[in-house]
Amino acid sequence: MPKVTFIDFSGTAHEVQASEGSSLMETALDHGVPGIDGDCGGEAACGTCHLFVEAPWSEKLPGIEPSEETMLNIIDDRATTSRLSCQLRVSAELEGLVVRLPESQH
């Protein structure tokens, strides 16, 4: 079970043991991480699971699919490291992953 750290906008770190195969959005919800709502259930249609992926992890993630790109394009605080956590699957390769939550989900 890879360790994943969510850092909320206030700077509080939430370190959790993630289940391989789950999405990062599901991982956050399962562990009560504040700031990730997942309103659309993981369909890349709401943007409430937006987060920023810290380097070097961003390079280990799969590319952005068109549906994710469409949603990211309408998020105000999109950055080069932005991803939708519902589109990211936990794998052993992501051990130690660190992600940050945006101000809009504070």
Binding region for ligand FES (CB under 6 A): 25, 38-40, 42-49, 71, 84, 86
List the beta strands (DSSP E) in 54-92. 82-84
Q: Are 5 and 15 in contact (CB under 8 A)?
A: yes
Closest CA relative to residue 17, chosen from 2, 33, 32, 36:
2
Q: Are 27 and 4 in contact (CB under 8 A)?
A: yes
Nearest approach, Cβ of 88 to ligand FES (angstroms)? Answer: 10
Closest CB to ligand FES among 21 and 56? Answer: 21
Closest CB to ligand FES among 86 and 94? Answer: 86
Nearest approach, Cβ of 38 to ligand FES (angstroms)? Answer: 4
Closest CB to ligand FES among 46 and 98? Answer: 46
